[in-house]
Amino acid sequence: MRKFILPLLLLSSLMVLNSCGESYPNAPGKKQNTKEENAEAKTVSKTNDMNVYVHFMPWFETDNTNNGKWPFHWTMNTRDPNVVDVTGKRQIASHYYPLTGPYASGDAAILDYQCLLMKYCGVDGVMVDWYGINSDNDIAKHKSNTEALANAIAKAGLKMTIVYEDSPLADVSDKVSQARQDVRYLAETFFHKDFYVKVEGRPLLMIFGPQQLLTGKDWYRVFSVLKTKPMFLCLNGHSGRANGDGYTNADGEFSWVNPTPDYSVASKFKMYIAGAMPGFKDYYKEGGAGNGYTSYDAENGALFQRQLDAAKKSGLKWLQISTWNDYGEGTTIEPTLEYGYKYLTMLQKFMGVSYTQADLELIYRWYQLRVAEPNSPRTQQAYDALVRLDVAKAKEILK
């Protein structure tokens, strides 16, 4: 929904706190910056065997990371985060305010905090919104931030997969060539990593559409540059755009922002990912960025619970939460001033983990320490304890 209109587009403590031979600029070499999984990171035990991932937006920047200017995703066209109220709360383009305050998606402290929260909810990892290799711009540093996210994911012992946005190809004359460069970068940078999601030995690749490459032949040409074709999933109702012409490229679909999802269609596909949203309350009209979309009331968490239950009842093995942090559309589940840890504690119960809100609050205390004392040995020791699931040790360090 949001993606069809966006451009390529609390307190005082928070203030402290075409051919196989194609190439592309800054192509990664054999040695990547992305770290492999942390040998110390332990896996969370859970009773729910579903593969549960959160849809993650890596598009946030602050004035400190964007040449002194707060970009679109915190401001839209009407808000100014430099305006701060008496409680320390900044003015942002959202109905919800992150517990940490508005942040930059490449901030290692934020990313470690977010990954720890996911881990202690039983979430397996992230499905990250990604706009291609040329997506670092004055709106967001999508590519760089995704690489930073991958480092945090690996350290925390989580997994990630890419949700490709082909909408930027609208301004490209040779769309197939650009898409080839994008998927080759993904293959060389992420697909072979242990933390990247594999299904039947193939890297999982999703697409929010397709919106620009609309034939089976085009997608066959795109994937022809890869040694291993990915398990390719399209937005619900869009797999026909990637198949046809005698080619089958899409293996399935994923559900997206639907208050009453119908999973009867799932049996038609090799793989289908269910969806669950907490609600939908966008800021586009207030933000001067269009008229907005239909709102879906969160019902104080009841909608999210129904969606989780429907996904479980469907018998599907995969679930995507939409979203972790799309503040502009009001589909967030990460902690905010308005609803606190509500959605994360619901996930803890759904996943059947032994952790509670107290553990999530401990992670937030660690984040505050990370901001206040970024180079302190105590900060690193507490993180190491948390990633090893040694809550008692982390409490001792943080007291």
Instruction: For residues 399 and 397, give the distance between their C-alpha atoms in angstroms, rounded to a whole number.
Output: 6
Residue 40: Cβ within 10 Å count:
12
Crossing angle of helices 357-372 and 342-351, in 10° steps, is: 130
pLDDT at 192 over 70: yes
Mind listing the pLDDT tens digit for each residue in 249-260? 999 999 999 999
To the nearest whole number, what is the mean pLDDT of the chain?
Answer: 92
What are the distances in angstroms from CA 41 to CA 44, 157, 336, 358?
A: 9, 5, 27, 20
Mind listing the pLDDT tens digit for each residue in 221-230? 999 999 999 9
pLDDT classification of 107: cutoffs 50, 70, 90:
very high
Cα-Cα-Cα-Cα dihedral sign, residues 86, 91, 92, 93:
positive
What the chain holds in terms of domains, given with CATH numbers, is: 51-351 (3.20.20.80), 356-398 (no CATH)
Q: What's the token pair of residue 26?
A: 């800054």
pLDDT classification of 10: cutoffs 50, 70, 90:
very low
Instruction: For residues 7 and 328, give the distance between their C-alpha atoms in angstroms, rounded to a whole number.
Output: 13
Mind listing the pLDDT tens digit for each residue in 299-322? 999 999 999 999 999 999 999 999
Mind listing the pLDDT tens digit for each residue in 33-62? 455 556 589 999 999 999 999 999 999 999
pLDDT of 39 reads: 56
Which runs of E-coded beta strand occur in 141-217?
159-164, 198-199, 202-207
Q: What's the token pair of residue 380?
A: 């690193």
Rounded average pLDDT over 200-222: 98
pLDDT of 22 reads: 37
pLDDT of 138 reads: 81
